[in-house]
Amino acid sequence: MSRIVHIALKCGDMESFESATKFYEDIFGIYQTKNTHARGHHSRHMTDGNIDLALMLYDSEDEKEAKLAGAGPRIHHIGIEVDDRPSMIKKIEDNGGSIYSDRAEGALKYRSADGTLGEIVGIGRYLKKDRSKLSRISQVTLYVNDLEKAANFYRNVFDFEPAPGSNGTVHNLTDGETVLSLVKADQPAIEYWTLEVADPKAVAEQVTERGGKIVSGAATSVKFVGPDGNQAELTAA
């Protein structure tokens, strides 16, 4: 089975880029692994030990890849590790997706059948490392306008399996470690990502103290916007 290995957060400026770095380090124990500049953007790669979290800052909103997800802060794409790229490219296209990148790219961008942006990478690009003691990235939530079409895409292309919590407006899938939650909505988007923590209420207080903003709270989860301008969720481990 393929595996979700990467989430890319697009930042608006250098201040939010640097603030977000410290925010995720200090509160969630997500630590830096490398910094790069390629294809018109800075990438600061961080990890919880299982998933690579990349903060991205484009040289300009006019950069080709910046335009793929739209202007301003947003969750730009997710990355999925596969063991056979050529056959995966065919599967993507056969199931309603399209390839964006040059096919020789190490991280090959695609547009999924649900309209969101993703990339496929070979095994070993994002290695597992020492796990954070403070959090675990457990889920990515996508808004899709055709729930069944989107679910079929991820099942057929990546062999993701059903996960608990599905209903008439939500379809949850898993790669065995991380949940991909598909939510019926008018416009496709990678809406938020989820962090499991020991005490969501206590962590929410840290979020507000360190530059984040709480946008909703419930008995089982808290949603917030980080300094990078993107939405995330806290749930209990």
Which pLDDT score, from 0 to 100, does residue 79 have?
Answer: 98
Q: Which residues of the chain have pLDDT under 70?
A: none
Q: Which of 92, 122, 152 is the last residue of a domain?
A: 122
The DSSP H or E segment spanning 162 is strand 161-162
Which pLDDT score, from 0 to 100, does residue 41 have?
Answer: 86
- For residue 79, being part of any structural domain is answered with yes
Question: 70, 64 in Cβ contact below 8 A?
Answer: no
Does residue 112 share a domain with residue 7? yes
Does residue 150 share a domain with residue 44? no
Number of domains, the chain: 2
Please state, in angstroms and rounded to a whole number, the distance separating the CA atoms of residues 63 and 74: 15
Which pLDDT score, from 0 to 100, does residue 165 have?
Answer: 93
Query: Reduced to 3 states, what is the DSSP secondary structure of residue 139?
Result: strand
Please state, in angstroms and rounded to a whole number, the distance separating the CA atoms of residues 213 and 83: 39
Q: Which of 98, 122, 146 is the last residue of a domain?
A: 122
Q: Of 9, 8, 13, which Cα lies nearest the Cα of 60? A: 13
237 DSSP 8-state letter: -
Which pLDDT score, from 0 to 100, does residue 67 have?
Answer: 80
Please state, in angstroms and rounded to a whole number, the distance separating the CA atoms of residues 72 and 10: 7
Question: 194, 139 in Cβ contact below 8 A?
Answer: yes
Range of the domain at 22: 3-122
What is the CATH classification number for the domain harbouring 217?
3.10.180.10
Does residue 104 share a domain with residue 143? no
Which pLDDT score, from 0 to 100, does residue 167 have?
Answer: 93
Does residue 92 share a domain with residue 51? yes
The DSSP H or E segment spanning 111 is strand 108-111
Which pLDDT score, from 0 to 100, does residue 85 have?
Answer: 85
77-93 residues labelled b (16+ CB within 10 A) or e (exposed): bbbbbbeeeeebbebbe
Which pLDDT score, from 0 to 100, does residue 204 have?
Answer: 96
Q: Do the strands 52-58 and 3-10 form a parallel or antiparallel pair, or are they unpaired?
A: parallel
Q: Is the pTM of this model over 0.85?
A: yes
Please state, in angstroms and rounded to a whole number, the distance separating the CA atoms of residues 160 and 186: 24
